[in-house]
Amino acid sequence: MPKILEIEGYKFYIYLNDHLPIHVHVWKGGGECKVLLGPELVIQNNYGFKSKELKSILRIIEGHYAFIIEKWHEIHGK
């Protein structure tokens, strides 16, 4: 499971041999969430992050959206 980013203590992972739709897993402390990267960002699962933290996560993903998509394709092929 490659870590592709670490910002503000949030660690962003893309699992090997994962499934579509394109998404990223985020961990920090005891929290974990999964965010789908479609036309809109969708938090599919959240375990332990507060609303303010989720807003930070979405802001980070928005700022690195193209990079995350590029890493997904590098890991899983186009």
**Sequence-distant (≥ 6) Cβ neighbours of residue 54 within 8 angstroms:** 33, 43, 46
Residue 53 has a CB neighbour count (10 Å cut-off) of 19
Is the pTM higher than 0.85? The answer reads yes
Using one digit for the tens of pLDDT, what is the confidence trace for 1-59?
A: 899 999 999 999 999 989 999 999 999 999 999 999 999 999 999 999 999 999 999 99
The domain of 43 spans 3-76
Q: What is the pLDDT of residues 58-72, one digit of tens each?
A: 999 999 999 999 999
Number of domains observed in the structure of the chain: 1
